[in-house]
Structure 1
Amino acid sequence: MGRMPTQKRLAGSFTPLDFQLVLLRRMADHNPDLVENARHGLGVSLAQMREANKRWQAMLHSPHARGALSRYRSVLGEPESRTPRRVGDLDCEAWLWPVSLWPGLCFEVLLAPNGSVWNEWLVRAPGTAPPPLNTLDDLTPWSCTVDEAAHAFAPARPLEGTAPTRWGLAFTAPDGRGVRREVVAEFTWGLLQRTAARE
């Protein structure tokens, strides 16, 4: 599978590289060290990441803002794949774009039957094996997606996120000694950020 290009931004444009910086910016609250390493790997400065996020927010809140799907197509180009998806009683369509920061993941936009964007987050790339998730020790930052954690530690209860692009799951899982613990896992853009003991 190809990777989302990391080309430098042209004047007035918003590129896949800029979008990856937006993803990182939302994750910096939980994992600043991981974000810092990823930013250096992309060869961009902290100021560039902040500027990309600022421009993204301006795109979202502009009185002339385009629809979510149109915005993603203008930034990321045409999706690498479009796949029918059944969600409950709804027939949806999943659009996928590869992401160079996480080669095993794709950015997914899920379209409702009326064409509106129903969900948008990172998922495992087709044909890529999910990580082994057996104990809490396996739940390290950036190790898995929402769906993978929910499947590995079913039944998991979804929780309302603390901010846009954030999700939570509550479930019980064994620790390294086999003792089952109640935990809350927090995700940003669908990617695990941290786990904590459930209060």
Structure 2
Amino acid sequence: MAGTPFTPLHFQLVLLRRMADHQPGLVEDARHELGVSLSEMREANRRWQAMLHAPRGRSAVGRYRSVLGAPEVRERRRIGDLDCEALLWPVPLWPALRFEVLLAPNGAVWNEWLVRAPGATGPRLETAADLRPWSCTVDEVARAFAPARPMEGTAPTRWRLAFAARQDADPAAGDPAAGDPRRWVADFTWGLLQRVDETG
């Protein structure tokens, strides 16, 4: 594998490797779906890290283009007073998502994560019970449970959100206090939801 080109398949293994700490079962299922071994996943991650830290490596956006090819979508974004560019690539493991790289006006990468594909319908998020692993993205949770508070991630490529939400849509069906707002923290890797924990 070390002598072969780094392909979109290998990039998906990099995404999975980062998610394995939170969702080893889902990662294992996805790895089998891709038909690769655990050692191949580790090797893909090793090669990716080597590319990131190469002294004369490509720029971040150049690296993504070399691995993923030409972006499926390029669009302008207005963020505050700045005109930015978003590049989106398909990710076969998650057909309804795209890998997005957001570029600053000077070409620097501001953000890189999974987002809902243009035109795709996201999940209906009303309670904490709706927040299932790998079902939604950072921006979808932030919109559904505004005002969500961003928190520092526990490692690179990880994000966290603190927010208030009911536990369940039907309090009568279980916990009598399920309909009361509670405090939660959601963990994301590469922008995709991994877990939700109640904090009070």
Quick check: 123-132 or 175-184, which moved more?
Answer: 175-184
Instruction: Determine which of 42, 46, 67 is the counterpart of 1:75.
Output: 67
CA contact (8 A) 2:73 2:87 kept: yes
Q: Which runs of 5+ in 1 are unaligned?
A: 1-8
Could you say what the CA RMSD is over the residues aligned between the two structures, in angstroms?
A: 1.1
Instruction: Determine which of 95, 114, 118 is the counterpart of 1:126.
Output: 118
Q: Write the mapping of 1:21-60 to structure 2, written as runs, cut at 5 A.
A: 21-60=13-52
Q: CA deviation at 1:91?
A: 1.1
CA contact (8 A) 2:100 2:112 kept: yes
CA distance in 1, matches of 2:142, 2:196: 13
Q: Write the mapping of 1:106-121 to structure 2, written as runs, cut at 5 A.
A: 106-121=98-113
Q: CA deviation at 1:87?
A: 1.6
Q: CA deviation at 1:88?
A: 2.2
CA distance in 1, matches of 2:108, 2:13: 25
Letter in 1 for 2:19: M
CA contact (8 A) 2:85 2:102 kept: yes
Q: Write the mapping of 1:171-190 to structure 2, written as runs, cut at 5 A.
A: 171-176=163-168, 177=171, 178-190=179-191
CA distance in 1, matches of 2:2, 2:181: 51
Letter in 2 for 1:128: A
Q: Larger radius of gyration, structure 1 or 2?
A: 2
TM-score with structure 2 setting the length: 0.93
Task: Report the counterpart of residue 144 of structure 1 in structure 2.
Answer: 136
Letter in 2 for 1:144: C
CA contact (8 A) 2:2 2:47 kept: no
Percent of pairs with identical residues: 71
Q: CA deviation at 1:115?
A: 0.7
Aligned residues: 191
CA distance in 1, matches of 2:192, 2:28: 17
Match of 1:196, SS state, is strand
Task: Report the counterpart of residue 94 of structure 2 in structure 1.
Answer: 102
Runs of 4+ in structure 1 over 3 Å off: 9-12
Quick check: 173-182 or 22-31, which moved more?
Answer: 173-182
CA distance in 1, matches of 2:51, 2:18: 16
Letter in 1 for 2:197: A
CA distance in 1, matches of 2:78, 2:132: 30
CA distance in 2, matches of 1:12, 1:92: 34
CA distance in 2, matches of 1:88, 1:197: 33
